Structure 1
Amino acid sequence: MDGTVDGFRYGAVTPVAAYLMACLGGALGLRCIVRALLDARSFRAGWLALGAASIGCGIWTMHFIAMIGFHVEETRIRYDAATTVLSLVVAVAVVGAGVFIVGLRGTGGVTLAVAGAVTGLGVAGMHYLGMAAMRLNGEVGYDPAGVALSVLIAIGAATAALWSAVTIRGFLTSLGASLVMGVAVSGMHYTGMAAVSVHVHDMTGGTWEGDSPMSLLLPMLLGPVVFLLLAGVVVMFDPLLVLGERSSAPRPDSPALNSPGGKRPSWRTAVSSARER
């Protein structure tokens, strides 16, 4: 029989908390990427890696906070720990791939499209891998149209986030971008969840018991949340990153940076020129 699916068992608590975590991860990630591009002499790879980990942890944490509110009336739900951890690794790895592509190669049309597609497909893969970690007395099915739409939203959100990371420089504008990013990532999640259906197996008068989702998810969420808080401390204590409107340094696509001969200087050259001025 078809199960009664409820994605909002605790009302607005889980969607709001999930959205805030997506925003936090996005905000920290965007600022770390900006920091990597502001100073060519800084440890760029380290800042890009921290930004990728922040965004990846934010997305993963958003997903599983939202899943705490997912409930099927006819059966308990539990999660496989190994698959759940693997979904976190996938989230950080694919976001890292996209971040390093645009962080090192810029936002040319082809580069941005490739990085956005890779990252978006990875985020969608993380979502559905996380769903595959569910264990319940039934089978989970998906509406193909809803799945396709969620993947398209993930690719669009990833592309916009990567573009923002290397284009938007000001602190407040980055904050605004992270809020929009949180909406997009949460929208992708709940679009995917709207495509879910559960066919519950015949329990023949018995009940299928399992651990509460929170018995696994809450302890596992602790690590990424602590990491995001520590990343926030790193960001707060870097004045160039938080306050420096050197973040308003000319962008690579700025006409002011075009050379007299019609050649556009590299991002490294642009940043160096801005520092000298």
Structure 2
Amino acid sequence: MQGTVDGFRYGAVTPVAAYLMACLGGALGLRCIVRSLIDEESWKPGWLALGAASIGCGIWTMHFIAMLGFQVDETGIRYDTGLTLLSLAVAIAVVGIGVFIVGYLGAGKGALGVAGVATGIGVAVMHYIGMAAVEVNGDIRYDTLTVGLSVAIAVVAATAALWAAVTIRGFMASLGASLVMGVAVSGMHYTAMAAVSVHVHGNGSAAWAGDSPTSLLLPMLLGPAVFLLLAGVVVMFDPLLVLGDGEWSKSAVSPRNSAARAAKEPAPQHTSPVFGEPVGPARPRQDQHKAAAPHWAPPPGGEW
């Protein structure tokens, strides 16, 4: 029996929430990557790892928030815990591969192409591992053409995101890039879900009654969501992460560097009032309040 698949059980709530989480993860990840590039003295591997974890958690959280709205009318749905957690690890790992490639090799065509393809395919693998975690009283089937389209969208979205990470420096530009990234990632998810059909085994509703995907997914979503909030706190309390490229260049001059530059400058020279030639370092002005010399007066009687 063909099942009736609905991906919007709660209307627009789950798509909007999923999109916002994808944008949040993308924005945090992009700013962390920029932080590793504009400050050579920062701990680059740490910032790249934080950026990869933010983007990966954002994509994974987006996927399973959207899956809260997925239902099959003829059967209940369960989720395999191990595969669900594996999909999170895959999301962070594959995004990390792409982030570290462009973080160290730049946005050249070769590096960007390899990183984008690897990350995009990895994101698609994460999606389908997450779908493998779905358990229904039936068989989940996919339309091959639509699956291929979803993988292509994932590759394009990943490549664009990595390009933006190493090219766009300004805060507002990064924010705009994260909004576009959220659209691409959400579009990939719902394109992939359009490929899904379910063949139900008999009347499965009675055997699976009472099972709710929220009982498993909501506790598991709590961890990545808290991580994204903490990463957001790190971004907001690091002023270098909210500055644009020009502002960063201005703020990069530290007091220590200013003092060192001043020490290298020659001392001002004192010039001769007659010849105008330097005669040595300028000396401090004499005390203006020094007592004046006593005035000489003639002796008594007017005699000299």
| TM bracket (short chain) | 0.7 to 0.9
TM-score normalised by L of structure 2: 0.80
Q: Which runs of 5+ in 1 are unaligned?
A: 250-275
Aligned mates of 2:8, 2:203 — CA distance in 1: 25
Distance 1:4 1:36, change over 3 A: same
* Aligned equivalent of 2:70: 70
Deviates more, 1:183-192 or 1:204-213: 204-213
Which amino acid counterpart does residue 90 of structure 1 have in structure 2?
V
Give the CA deviation at 1:202. Answer: 1.1
- Map 1:118-129 to 2 at 5 A: 118-129=118-129
1:167 aligns with 2:167: yes
1:59 aligns with 2:59: yes
Aligned mates of 1:53, 1:108 — CA distance in 2: 23
Query: What number of residue pairs does the alignment pair up?
Result: 250
Aligned mates of 1:37, 1:204 — CA distance in 2: 54
Give the CA deviation at 1:137. Answer: 0.1
Give the CA deviation at 1:51. Answer: 0.2
Whether the aligned pair in 2 keeps the contact of 1:98 and 1:162 (CA below 8 Å) is yes
Aligned mates of 2:204, 2:171 — CA distance in 1: 59
Whether the aligned pair in 1 keeps the contact of 2:78 and 2:136 (CA below 8 Å) is yes
Aligned mates of 2:112, 2:165 — CA distance in 1: 11
Deviations 1:109-164 (A, max 9, x none): 01100000000000000000000001110000000010000000000000000000
Give the CA deviation at 1:244. Answer: 4.6
SS in 2 for 1:21: helix
Give the CA deviation at 1:246. Answer: 4.2
RMSD: 1.5
Distance 1:21 1:53, change over 3 A: same
Which amino acid counterpart does residue 198 of structure 1 have in structure 2?
V
* Larger radius of gyration between Structure 1 and Structure 2: 2
Aligned mates of 1:169, 1:205 — CA distance in 2: 53
Aligned mates of 1:139, 1:233 — CA distance in 2: 43
Aligned mates of 1:183, 1:241 — CA distance in 2: 23
Which amino acid counterpart does residue 184 of structure 1 have in structure 2?
A
SS in 1 for 2:198: strand
SS in 2 for 1:40: coil
Give the CA deviation at 1:248. Answer: 6.9
* Aligned equivalent of 1:158: 158
Aligned mates of 2:29, 2:208 — CA distance in 1: 41
* Aligned equivalent of 1:132: 132
* Aligned equivalent of 2:142: 142
Aligned mates of 1:13, 1:205 — CA distance in 2: 25
Q: Which runs of 5+ in 2 are unaligned?
A: 250-260, 262-304
Give the CA deviation at 1:197. Answer: 0.2
* Aligned structure 1 segments of 4 or more residues deviating by more than 6 angstroms: none
Whether the aligned pair in 2 keeps the contact of 1:78 and 1:213 (CA below 8 Å) is yes
Aligned mates of 1:103, 1:247 — CA distance in 2: 22
* Aligned equivalent of 2:186: 186
Which amino acid counterpart does residue 191 of structure 1 have in structure 2?
T
Whether the aligned pair in 1 keeps the contact of 2:74 and 2:204 (CA below 8 Å) is no
Which amino acid counterpart does residue 46 of structure 2 have in structure 1?
G
Aligned mates of 1:92, 1:208 — CA distance in 2: 32
Aligned mates of 1:189, 1:73 — CA distance in 2: 21
Which amino acid counterpart does residue 235 of structure 1 have in structure 2?
V
